[in-house]
Structure formats: C-alpha cells, structure tokens
Amino acid sequence: MHKVSILKSNKSTITAVKYPLIVFSIAISLRSIIEILALPYPIGYDVINYYLPSLVNFDNHWTSASNQFPLYLLLLHTITSVLQIHPRIVISASVVLIFGLFSLVIYSIARNIFHLNSFQSIFVSIFVIFQVSLLRTSWDLHKDMLGLTITLFCLSYVSRFPNISKRIMFAILPLSIISVLSDRMIGFLLSSVLIIYSLIKRERQIAIIAIATSIIFVVALIANFDIIRNNIIIGNVENETIQQPYTALNLVILFLLMSGILIPTGVIGVMKSRNIILKIPLIVSLLGSFSWVVFPNTSAFLPDRWIIIFSIFLSIFSGYGFVTLIENKHIMISNKKLRNYLVVLIPFIFLGSVFATSPNNSYLNMYGAFHTYIGHYGPLTMQYNSISLPESESLLSLIEWMNDNVSSQIILMGSKHVRGWMELELDNRTFVYSDDITDLLKSNKYNEFYLLSRNSESFQLQNFSSNLSFNNSDFSLHHLKRVEVE
C-alpha cells in the first residue's frame, strides 16, 4: 500500500513538471530561433544602441546609465564580468531565458488564477507568447520583459493570500523591489496594482508589501528625477518631428492592431474571471494607452508603450475567454476539443511567427500595410535592429572602409540610429549624430566632415562642397567642406 502511494506521488510530480516544461521548451525554442535567424547580427533597437555599447564600454556609459533604472544592465554586466562571456551572448541568452520564464508564469496564472487544467493552461501560454505585443516587447525592451515577468509572478501569489505561507508571502517583497527597480513604467504599474489591491482586500501583509514596494519605487524616481524631468520637457517641446508620431490617428491604429482582435474574447475572459488582481493592471495600462486624450500635446507619458503593455494583459484574458467559449461549445469546428483549440491557435501562431521571423519587406506581414502609421513605435519584424539586417551588412562594409581610408582627425556625422554600430565598430574616430542631420548641417560648428546617409535620404548642402567617397546598395559617404560665401 505504501509502495502504491509512493508511485502515485512520483507520477503526480512528473505530471506537474512535464506540462510546464513543455511550455518552457516551446517559448525557449521560439525566442532562440528568432535570434538564430538574425545571425551574425543582433536584433533589437536598444540592443545595438544601448545594451551592447553599455556593456562593451561599461565605464564610459555608467554615468548616464546609472540614471535610467540600471538594475538589469548591472545584472548583465555582472554576468559578463564574472563568466567572461561576450556581451552579445549574455544579452541574447538572458532575454531567451526571461521569455521562457514568462511563459511559465502565464502557465501558473492559467492554473492558479483561472483554475484551468494542464492542457488548457498550455493553450493559454502558447496563445500569449505568440502575441505580437509580447514579441515586440522581447525584441528590445528587455527591462520591461524582466519587470513584467516578475510582476506577474508576484501578482499570481499575492492573489492567493491567505492560502499561502508567510515565508512565500514575504519572499514576494524582494521580488517586487527588483521589478520596480527594473523599469520605470513597470515599477509604476506594479506599485499602483499593489496599492489598489491592498485597499480592496485590506490585508495587513499585502499592505506592507505595497507600502514598502512603493517607497522603494519613489526613491528610485527621485534618484532619476533629472532624466525624468528632461524627458517631460522634451516631450512637451513644440517640435513637429517629435510630436508627429504621437497623433491620435497613429495611436488609435496601433491600439486596434495590437488589441482589436483580442477585445471580444478579452471581455469574456474579464467577465468570467472572479479574481480581480489581473484586472487592475489591465485597467491601469488601458488608462495609460489613452493618456494622449487628456494630454494631447505631449509624448512624455509614452502611450505607445502602454498600448503594448495593455495588449499583453488583454491577451491573457483573451486566451481564457477562448477556453471558456470552446469548453461551452460556442466555438465548435469539430467534435474533438483539440481541433477546436488548434483552429483558434493557428492564426495567432501564424501572425506571431511572421512578425518574429519574416524579412523586413515580407508581403505576409499585415503590419506592413500600416507602416506609415505605426512604424515609429516599433519594427515591422523582429529581424531588425536599428536598421534592417541587409542594411547592417552594408553599414559594416562602409565602416570597414572608413577604418582603412578616413583620417582619424576628421569628424564623421550621421543619424542617431546608427550610433551603436559606430561605437562598436568604428576605430578611434569621432562620430557625431543627431535626430535631424539638417540642423547639424546648418550649424557653423564643423568646416570639414564626412556625412553618412542612406541612399534614400537627401540633404540640402548649401555652403558645402561635396564629394562622394564611398557608397554601396544602402549607404553613401560624402566628404563635405564648407565653402565661404562672398
């Protein structure tokens, strides 16, 4: 009898581990394939312009990075230094691991908050990890991914209070602190959720966690006050170049593309869910998504980022909504439930896979049709860094030519989007970058320099003589000298 009990216990343990392992393996494989397809180039705007340069030249970047919620960067730097692994490998491996851990948290939420069985929880997990909003976040918003993963983990346990041990409850506190120190927006989200939830539940331990977490977040905000103030000032500048992407039309289109298809089943999921804890970040992120209605003349509140965060939370409820409809036979393509689940899942897997793996000019990518409106907020495909992968090859070819042929005494000038590439690959030369090259050309600061530009770009070169020094399929390099006007 005792032997039978042990066998049943072992079988139960294996089953409990098997299904989360399936989810984790799928997520890890998906995110690894995305990285492998891009080789030898990195993907992610912040990867090439922030993470890689900051890790390669950590001492030079630390002064500015320390004012931008640097916990994740410090973690990457520690791993790189201790293990003596190249930063590129550490960055890619870390985001792949975080993506896998995120899938496990979604599985846990499906099991413990929505009370679904293992198969249904696998469905919800796969449904969420193939959402474009989540894939776009994992593209370059790595701090957000870490913060969101820990936030959802903490909320899933807080929601089970008081049916968990005090030891686990207070383990949530350091994790919550890590989350709020990872990213400013996620920190605000988690602090807000914990405060609101503690007011609703009126539980002493939840209140303690909420207060402690919020105090740490406020201290971090004060420490980063200068950066935040500058962002608000920049966001309020009456500059058409800055404000143009944040028009009402662009933001509404982004919202509909990210969340429109999820809203019907998302509403069902919200109505069917009895646990309120995930509804709070859903509402908070929805309000952030439409902050432009109340503050139409500023981009400082980053409504595009809130739209993406809202879509991630909505996708969790939407997955639960689909499960509810399938189980109640409102979606019944076949008598076999597995086929019904696959019919729902396959279109979302297709959309996510196209976004994750297709070339920049793929006709299968539906988001390409709306590039004019949403191109400012993220890539059309994850196979992209600050420029497309073919352009990355062309740029490296140009940088190699400059290292061999351009004097180290002459200034190089170009777009801010290639500043990371220049810092990593350009040897002992000064690269000056700007949002608007035209403003640099109008200044009287430089009498002689090289101008790097895309072949599709054109500039008015008044008061300058120009000689084409190098060009390839994507970029041109002109040698400019100021001409005295009589």
pLDDT tier, 334 (very low <50, low <70, confident <90, very high otherwise): low
For the chain, the structural domain boundaries read 2-374, 389-482
Residue 239 has pLDDT above 50, yes or no: no
pLDDT, position 6:
54
pLDDT, position 314:
97
Q: Give me the percent of the chain exceeding a pLDDT of 90.
A: 54
pLDDT, position 231:
53
How remote is the C-alpha of 230 from its chain's centroid?
22
Judge contact between 433 and 419, C-beta under 8 A. Answer: yes
User: Which neighbouring-strand residues pair with 128?
Assistant: none
Output the six-digit token pair for 445: 């600061």
Give the residue carrying structure tokens 């390409």: 368
Output the six-digit token pair for 131: 């959402």
Judge contact between 259 and 304, C-beta under 8 A. Answer: no
Range of weakest confidence among 111-120, 176-185, 332-341, 388-397: 332-341
pLDDT, position 2:
55
Judge contact between 395 and 418, C-beta under 8 A. Answer: yes
Coil, strand or helix at 462: coil
Residue 359 has pLDDT above 90, yes or no: no
How remote is the C-alpha of 57 from its chain's centroid?
23
pLDDT tier, 15 (very low <50, low <70, confident <90, very high otherwise): low
Q: What does the mean pLDDT of the chain come to?
A: 86
Residue 283 has pLDDT above 60, yes or no: yes
Does the predicted model carry a pTM greater than 0.85? yes
CA distances from 319 to 117, 130, 251, 262, 280 (A): 13, 11, 24, 9, 18
**Sequence-distant (≥ 6) Cβ neighbours of residue 113 within 8 angstroms:** 156, 159, 273, 275, 277, 278
pLDDT tier, 422 (very low <50, low <70, confident <90, very high otherwise): very high
* Interior angle at CA 397, CA 413 and CA 407, nearest 5: 50
How remote is the C-alpha of 13 from its chain's centroid?
34
pLDDT tier, 263 (very low <50, low <70, confident <90, very high otherwise): very high
Of the chain, the end-to-end C-alpha distance in Å amounts to: 105
pLDDT tier, 38 (very low <50, low <70, confident <90, very high otherwise): very high
Give the residue carrying structure tokens 């370059």: 140
Judge contact between 176 and 153, C-beta under 8 A. Answer: no
- DSSP for 391-406 reads HHHHHHHHHHHHHHHS
Judge contact between 450 and 469, C-beta under 8 A. Answer: yes
Separation between Cα atoms, residue 383 and residue 363, nearest integer Å: 15
- Residue 179: which of 162, 159, 160, 156 has the closest Cα? 156
